[in-house]
Amino acid sequence: MNSETANAMSSYQTSRRIVLGAIIALICLFLVFGGSLQSELMHERIEAHGIALILIGIGGRLWSTLYIGGRKSAEVVSTGPYSVMRNPLYFFSSIAAMGIGAQTGSLVYTVIMPVLCALAFHFVTLREERYLRATLGAPYEAYLARVPRFCPKPWLFRDDTEVTFKPRLLNRTLLDGLVFLVSIPFFELIEEGQEVGWIPVLFWVH
């Protein structure tokens, strides 16, 4: 891959992270003024399951980064999580987004958040695939034909005996993942603000 293509891909990936972060921030801002119609017990259960989803999402993103290690634009990575789906980072980000939606105590938001993220990621992957087709050629075409874009096929799993990675990228992925955890105290504060009347509830959902 020439330097111009590499720089273009790097620039696009940076802008992609900023745009997707802004989308999640805007969605969270919208959720501030919504209330859950679930019973208190169900509300707490949804939140608890949401925390588990966030942790799964963060763990999955770290797992994926261990394998991709900055090599996405240089070679076809087809082992570990990349053997069962082409975009595990996006998949696990959507799982974490589901966990964020669950922190509202609403089943509706729990479903809507990952759907919106998956939709945004769909358009992102289409552009990335054009880059990778042009850069990696026939091996990537074969990978496209064998491995699904987003829905994992566990029976395709295969692994390496060892994996090398860049600590800088792993650390950045970890920091990105901590943003998901911020949603837990964030929505707890929102609930308290709504209970004391500091934050108005403009609409209710199940």
Give the model confidence (pLDDT) of 131-159 as tens digits. 889 888 999 999 999 999 999 999 999 99
User: In this structure, what token pair is assigned to residue 91?
Assistant: 């998949």
Q: Report percent pLDDT > 90 for the chain.
A: 44
The predicted structure's pLDDT at residue 51? 96
Q: Which pair of structure tokens corresponds to residue 9?
A: 């891909």
Query: On the CB side of 51, how many CA atoms lie within 13 Å of its CA?
Result: 10
Model confidence at 120, pLDDT cuts 50, 70, 90, reads confident
Burial zone of 88 (CB within 10 Å; 0-12 exposed, 13-18 middle, 19+ buried): buried
pLDDT-derived band of residue 6, with 50, 70 and 90 as boundaries? Answer: low
Q: Structure pTM?
A: 0.86
Is the distance from CB of 206 to CB of 36 less than 8 angstroms?
yes
Measured CA to CA, the distance from residue 120 to residue 126 in angstroms comes to 10
Q: Looking at residue 75, what is its pLDDT?
A: 85
Assign 59 a pLDDT band (cuts: 50, 70, 90).
very high
